[in-house]
């Protein structure tokens, strides 16, 4: 029997408790060992749950109980959670978390502590909710040099964009609907301004390319105020509009990474990822493109990924999983605005001739007083400088994903 | 240092040799151990490869060399390959294979031998080429009760259908093109009659549901002679036509499984899987739907999956991975024709009234003298009996995938 503890009894934490208690036989069979949920740490009182006897308000109950071999952190944030996780790892307890903020900020440091203590620090649920993606990258694609990761990493913004695309809803209406359905917070900025997706691309890039990428190294643009007319124009150009996280190896030991509004050919698998679904596409030298698709959030999908990590910890109490990356450095991530990519630009139709005179334009589409261009590969900072030179201030830029 | 041997120097075997020799540093770092390719078994002579000194024609060189801890079987088939793999496992050598025929026929038996000898028998590359799917099912989705698997499991037929759908090519022309491009064999029956996909759904169902499903338990219909007019009519009904493998838990300890032409809503992620790409969608009670997408075949994608398994064997020389399923039995798989599913039926337009009188029809579309119906859930055997009663002999049935 292995004792485990859960820190935090919110959406994910309560989902983990339910799965551990309700799937006891299945999990015991798979772990070849019985899982005993011994403590749940939460400052709140929960009297109406069948496992009310397991609650504690004192973290030391968990930390100082040597029988607790695996601690599940679902509290969120990178302050208390960081202290708790670090203390557990230093005490020789394996830790599983769904906390993307923590892993994006402190992953390398915590992985190093886990390695030094010959235990595991696993966080499959921190990216893509229940979608298996970190373990497949670390294990199944191990014979590849990975070169690029592209994904729809935030279900809330994908839901909003899907409502705009499919139902012609305005941004503000789609956002309200997402809030009403519980997909978006009352303060939706972490989602719609791209910060949530930025944390996830940090974790993916850190794992795939071996060196920590920190959230403040990710150029992040969201979809706040996205225009329905722009989405329609992108569609006329053959593209679907998405909020995309991307990280790419540049060679010479550097990468670039960004979260930005983007357009993708309608035939691409990423374009078919709708509503709250996420997708992560990984490019490797041998494998080509592979993609992982599913619900990127939600109580049970996320909790099931956490529990799968717990099973793995229990099966490897005395053996480390080779999940690891090094500390990063401030010159590792190149500003994507200085790297040549393909872009789609939308501006007032009156600027059409000026734009055509300045840029190598491949496709053009005009509609309702707006004009959209796709440009040959160019650095966004050059693009912006040229637009300024032309005296054009009102325009929107979409990265073209290939 | 760990010695390994490859059985077979065909497409996959030579790809594995190339990756092991060309990525030596990367692989050594990931395995925390040096991989030494010691033998390659093939009855043919290969003098113009840089590793010509490694060839042997005598399997006993490999079997009796106790330093060889991992054997990679890429010879294919279920006769010699079975003898070789079984002998290696019984000798305590871990085995990695890409051989779907072998795993579909003998997986349970070989997994049992591996378990009894505390070694590993891994075969990620046997399904979906380089797409990570078996390991994620076994590990990442371990906290789920899995209920259904649906996939495009054969790249050749998906290429043919994509050419028919996108370029209006006739079946025979698309097949010729696939043969010219090396995607289809001169005798294409294993692909176009669905047998290759059937082996893969056997392996997926065996792993996901825990009990061996044998190829002769899979009702298998292919796409030979698929009509372009049927594909167009399906499209008008809002569907994309695919060859789909499906396995589904029925409850009472039984499942059903089939390979058949099917139609899928255009917005479904499976519909966006084009050309030689494969996709496997897995449904679990906690996770909902997750999907794995990528190239289902090809030298380097497949070889990279094999090498990832080899790394896993080397990292677990003294610990078994929990990949396992039990022997099946003859009553385990229910004939899918007796299970109620949704179907789309196409027949001559002159039969329209008769069909409408007999069936609960939801959608109807008529074009060029043909009529397509979608039927409420019904067993295919009942459907066929009613069509016979109506005197209708010329009709095509497509399973509607939801």
Do A17 and A93 fall within a single domain?
A: yes
Q: Would the CB atoms of A144 and B290 count as touching at under 8 Å?
A: no
Do B369 and B304 fall within a single domain?
A: no
Do A217 and A258 fall within a single domain?
A: yes
DSSP letter string over A200-231?
Answer: HHHHHHHHHHSB---GGGSEE---TT--HHHH
Do B154 and B28 fall within a single domain?
A: no
pLDDT (tens digit, 9 = 90+) per residue, B69-127?
Answer: 999 999 999 999 999 999 999 999 999 999 999 999 999 999 999 999 999 999 999 99
Domain limit, last residue, from A295, A326, A347? A295
**Does any domain span residue B389?**
yes
Residue of chain B whose alpha carbon sits nearest to that of A24: B143
Q: Is the dihedral of CA B166, B170, B173, B175 positive or negative?
A: positive
Q: Does A305 touch chain B (CB under 8 A)?
A: yes
What is d(CA B397, CA B374) in angstroms, rounded to the nearest whole number? 10
**Does any domain span residue A321?**
no
Lookup result for tokens 């825990």 = B210
Do B138 and B261 fall within a single domain?
A: yes
> Which chain B residues touch A139 with a CB distance below 8 Å?
132, 135, 308, 311-312
Do B87 and B15 fall within a single domain?
A: yes
Residue A362: what pLDDT?
A: 87
**Does any domain span residue B320?**
no
pLDDT (tens digit, 9 = 90+) per residue, B156-191?
Answer: 999 999 999 999 999 999 999 999 999 998 999 999
pLDDT band (50, 70, 90) for residue A323: confident
Q: Would the CB atoms of B308 and A139 count as touching at under 8 Å?
A: yes
Q: CA distances (Å), A9 to each of A32, A49, A56, A302, B173, in order?
A: 27, 11, 11, 14, 60
> Which chain B residues touch A19 with a CB distance below 8 Å?
143, 286
Do B232 and B263 fall within a single domain?
A: yes
> What mean pLDDT do residues A135-146 have?
90
> Which chain B residues touch A294 with a CB distance below 8 Å?
287-291
The domain of A175 spans: 134-295
pLDDT (tens digit, 9 = 90+) per residue, B3-43?
Answer: 999 999 999 999 999 999 999 998 998 888 999 999 999 99
Q: Is the pLDDT of residue A318 over 80?
A: no
Evaluate whether B165 touches B227 at the Cβ level (below 8 Å). no
Residue of chain B whose alpha carbon sits nearest to that of A269: B272
Which residues of B form the catalytic set? Answer: 200
Do B117 and B16 fall within a single domain?
A: yes
**Interface mutation vs chain B, best among A25, A127, A208, A287, most B CBs within 10 Å:** A287
Domains in chain A: how many in total? Answer: 3
> Which chain B residues touch A35 with a CB distance below 8 Å?
none
Q: Does A303 touch chain B (CB under 8 A)?
A: yes
**CATH assignment at residue A163:** 3.30.360.10
What is d(CA B107, CA B213) in angstroms, rounded to the nearest whole number? 9
Closest partner residue to A269 among B269, B307, B322, by Cβ? B269
Do B60 and B10 fall within a single domain?
A: yes
Q: Three-state DSSP class for A293? A: strand
Q: Is the dihedral of CA B47, B48, B52, B57 positive or negative?
A: negative
Evaluate whether A157 touches A185 at the Cβ level (below 8 Å). no
pLDDT (tens digit, 9 = 90+) per residue, B219-243?
Answer: 999 999 999 999 999 999 999 999 9
Do A167 and A246 fall within a single domain?
A: yes
**CATH assignment at residue B107:** 3.40.50.720
With residue B373 as reference, give the H or E element that holds it.
strand B370-379
**CATH assignment at residue A365:** 3.30.70.980
Residue of chain A whose alpha carbon sits nearest to that of B267: A272
**Does any domain span residue B167?**
yes
What is d(CA A54, CA A41) in angstroms, rounded to the nearest whole number? 8
Q: Does B138 touch chain A (CB under 8 A)?
A: no
Evaluate whether A74 touches A306 at the Cβ level (below 8 Å). yes
Q: Does B308 touch chain A (CB under 8 A)?
A: yes
Q: Would the CB atoms of A139 and B295 count as touching at under 8 Å?
A: no
**Does any domain span residue A57?**
yes
Q: How are the residues of chain A apportioned to helix, strand and coil, as percentages rounded to the nearest 5?
A: 40, 30, 30
Do B184 and B262 fall within a single domain?
A: yes
Is the pTM higher than 0.90? The answer reads yes
Can you name the residues that pair with A94 across neighbouring β-strands?
A: A70
**Does any domain span residue B325?**
no
Q: Does A296 touch chain B (CB under 8 A)?
A: no
Q: Would the CB atoms of A294 and B294 count as touching at under 8 Å?
A: no
**Does any domain span residue A327?**
no
Q: How far is B341 from chain A (nearest CA, A)?
A: 24
Q: How many CB atoms lie within 10 A of CB B69?
A: 17
Do B151 and B217 fall within a single domain?
A: yes
**Does any domain span residue B331?**
no
Closest partner residue to A304 among B144, B289, B306, by Cβ? B144
Closest partner residue to B308 among A27, A32, A140, by Cβ? A140
Q: Would the CB atoms of B143 and A291 count as touching at under 8 Å?
A: no
Q: Is the pLDDT of residue B139 over 90?
A: no
For chain B, the residue count is: 402
Closest partner residue to A304 among B135, B286, B301, by Cβ? B286
Lookup result for tokens 């390979």 = B259
Residue of chain A whose alpha carbon sits nearest to that of B275: A267
Domain limit, last residue, from A258, A280, A315? A315
Q: In sequence order, which residues have a C-beta less than 8 Å from that of residue B189 and are 6 or more positions away?
A: B195, B224
Q: Is the pLDDT of residue B134 over 90?
A: yes
Interface pTM (ipTM) of the complex? 0.93
């Amino acid at each position: 029997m292995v004792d485990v503890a859960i820190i935090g009894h919110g959406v994910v934490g309560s989902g983990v408790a339910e799965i551990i208690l309700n799937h006891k036989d299945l999990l015991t069979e798979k772990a070849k060992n019985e899982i005993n949920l011994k403590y749940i740490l939460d400052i709140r009182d929960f009297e109406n749950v069948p496992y009310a006897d397991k609650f504690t308000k004192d973290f030391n109950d968990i930390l100082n109980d040597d029988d607790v071999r695996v601690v599940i952190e679902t509290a969120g944030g990178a302050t208390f959670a960081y202290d708790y996780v670090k203390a557990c790892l230093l005490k020789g307890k394996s830790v599983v978390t769904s906390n993307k903020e923590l892993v994006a900020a402190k992953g390398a440091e915590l992985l190093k502590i886990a390695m030094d203590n010959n235990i595991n620090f696993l966080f499959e649920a921190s990216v893509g909710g229940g979608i298996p993606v970190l373990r497949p990258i670390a294990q199944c694609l191990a014979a590849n040099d990975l070169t690029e990761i592209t994904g729809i990493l935030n279900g809330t913004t994908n839901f909003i964009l899907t409502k705009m695309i499919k139902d012609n809803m305005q941004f503000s209406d789609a956002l309200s609907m997402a809030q009403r359905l519980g997909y978006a917070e009352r303060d939706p900025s972490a989602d719609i301004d791209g910060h949530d997706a930025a944390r996830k691309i940090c974790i993916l890039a850190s794992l795939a390319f071996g060196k920590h990428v920190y959230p403040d190294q990710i150029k992040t643009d969201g979809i706040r105020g996205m225009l329905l007319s722009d989405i329609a124009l992108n569609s006329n150009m053959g593209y679907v509009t998405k909020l995309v996280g991307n990280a790419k190896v540049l060679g010479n030991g550097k990468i670039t990474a960004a979260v930005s509004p983007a357009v993708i050919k309608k035939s691409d698998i990423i374009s078919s990822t709708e509503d709250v679904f996420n997708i992560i596409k990984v490019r490797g030298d041998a494998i080509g493109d592979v993609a992982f698709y599913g619900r990127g959030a939600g109580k049970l999908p996320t909790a099931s990924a956490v529990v799968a990590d717990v099973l793995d910890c229990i099966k490897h109490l005395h053996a480390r999983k080779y999940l690891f990356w090094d500390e990063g450095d401030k010159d590792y991530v190149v500003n994507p605005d200085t790297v040549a990519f393909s872009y789609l630009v939308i501006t007032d139709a009156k600027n059409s001739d000026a734009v055509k005179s300045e840029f190598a334009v491949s496709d053009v589409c005009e509609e309702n007083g707006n004009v959209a261009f796709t440009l040959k590969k160019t650095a966004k900072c050059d693009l912006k400088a040229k637009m300024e030179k032309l005296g054009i201030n009102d325009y929107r830029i979409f990265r073209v994903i290939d």
